[in-house]
């Protein structure tokens, strides 16, 4: 066994030396190419300085949407990567890009993008900065019933419409709810957010900060692994009783994959949680509903399980499409 390891280490060292040699040769070729260019063409150093000050190029992609071309060798990323050429990365941004991270001031100014409104929806009310009552009335008047200093009452059944309109106007109307430290347990999984997976750590920190996030990663980037980690780490207790998490899947295929491949490897304790709730999933959901929904909403769901709420889902829909675990990430 030790001979095999010694041989493997030797091969790795040889490959590493070859790689370092290739990198060195490539660097010399690039330097030589630049030197040759300088001999043939006289560079305008003043224009080069201007280029360093504005190394990106912006051009329209669609209404209120733009492409930003940035040389590949510059460590710059924004919005989402649309495509690449040999020399440039081309990113796409719009008014919603600022939700994905901080938007540099120079881009906000050049594209004339406004700062998002400080406006939030909570418990049937819309909350905003005092002094903007008339502005809110002009924008959302048909969706609100009464308005006073810094707050307005949303018309019955129009909350989703108001949220959609605020989002369309470029703002997120949700009140951040940071995860309480007492609701976190030590990491029992083998999952480590380091190396090439550092972006997963940033997502976890965002979840802890806001209490809710959306992960729009490409296939294979680790969304299911992140789910395992989150379900394992967040365990809320009330009066000493562990409260349930709600895991909603659009199909059974995802759940089966989690049970077969991910939970056994990364969070085996979750397998036991699933089995416990096969006894009575309806009652399990109703128990968790006292945490996830307002009591009057829960009562109405019990009385009429077929009723469609907001024309989207019913009690039966949730029972059919959901898998519930006795641990809860933020509601």
The CA-atom distances, in angstroms, between 213 and each of 123, 126, 172, 206, 216 are: 20, 21, 12, 7, 10
Residue 101 Rama label (left phi>0; alpha psi -120 to 50; beta): left
Residue 171 structure tokens: 């703002």
Q: What is the largest CA-CA distance in the chain?
A: 84
Strand partners, 298: none
Residue ranges in the chain modelled with pLDDT below 50 = 1, 275-279, 281, 288-296, 310-312, 319-331
Nearest to 64 by CA among 102, 114, 100, 101: 114
pLDDT given at position 153: 92
SS3 percent helix, strand, coil of the chain, rounded to 5, is 50, 20, 35
3-state secondary structure of 200: helix
Mark out the alpha helices in the chain (DSSP H runs): 2-40, 45-53, 105-111, 133-140, 159-168, 198-210, 223-233, 252-257, 263-266, 269-276, 281-292, 295-303, 315-321
Distance CA 35, CA 147 (A): 69
The pLDDT, as a whole number, for residue 152 is 92
Q: Give 154's strand partners.
A: 144
Instruction: List, for residues 321-330, the tens digit of each pLDDT value.
Output: 443 333 333 3
> pLDDT value at position 291?
34
pLDDT tens digits, residue range 35-54?
A: 665 565 676 777 777 777 77
Phi, psi of 319 (to 5 degrees): -65, -40
């Amino acid at each position: 066994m030790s001979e095999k390891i010694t041989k493997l280490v030797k091969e790795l060292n040889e490959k590493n030396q070859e790689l370092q040699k290739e990198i060195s040769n490539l660097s010399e070729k690039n330097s030589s190419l630049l030197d040759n260019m300088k001999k043939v063409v006289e560079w305008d150093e003043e224009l080069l300085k201007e280029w360093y000050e504005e190394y990106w190029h912006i051009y329209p992609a669609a209404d209120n949407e733009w492409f930003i071309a940035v040389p590949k060798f510059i460590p710059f990323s924004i919005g989402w990567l649309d495509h690449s050429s040999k020399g440039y990365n081309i990113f796409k941004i719009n008014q919603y890009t600022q939700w994905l991270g901080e938007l540099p001031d120079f881009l906000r100014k050049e594209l004339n993008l406004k700062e998002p409104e400080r406006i939030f929806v909570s418990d049937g009310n819309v909350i905003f900065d005092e002094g903007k009552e008339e502005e809110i009335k002009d924008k959302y008047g048909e969706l609100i019933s009464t308005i006073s200093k810094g707050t307005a009452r949303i018309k019955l059944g129009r909350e989703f419409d108001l949220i959609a309109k605020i989002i369309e106007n470029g703002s997120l109307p949700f009140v951040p709810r940071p995860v309480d430290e007492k609701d976190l347990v030590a990491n029992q999984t083998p999952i480590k957010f380091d190396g090439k997976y550092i972006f997963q750590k940033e997502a976890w920190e965002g979840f802890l900060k806001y209490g809710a996030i959306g992960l729009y990663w490409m296939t294979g980037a680790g969304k299911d692994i992140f789910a395992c980690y989150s379900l394992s780490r967040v365990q809320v207790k009330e009066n000493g009783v562990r409260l349930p998490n709600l895991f909603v899947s659009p199909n059974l295929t995802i759940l089966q994959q989690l049970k077969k491949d991910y939970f056994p490897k990364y969070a085996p304790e979750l397998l036991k949680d699933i089995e416990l709730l096969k006894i009575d999933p309806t009652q399990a959901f109703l128990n968790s509903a006292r945490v996830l929904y307002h009591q009057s909403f829960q009562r109405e769901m019990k009385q009429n399980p077929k009723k469609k709420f907001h024309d989207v889902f019913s009690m039966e829909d949730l029972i059919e499409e959901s898998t519930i675990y006795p641990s809860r990430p933020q509601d």
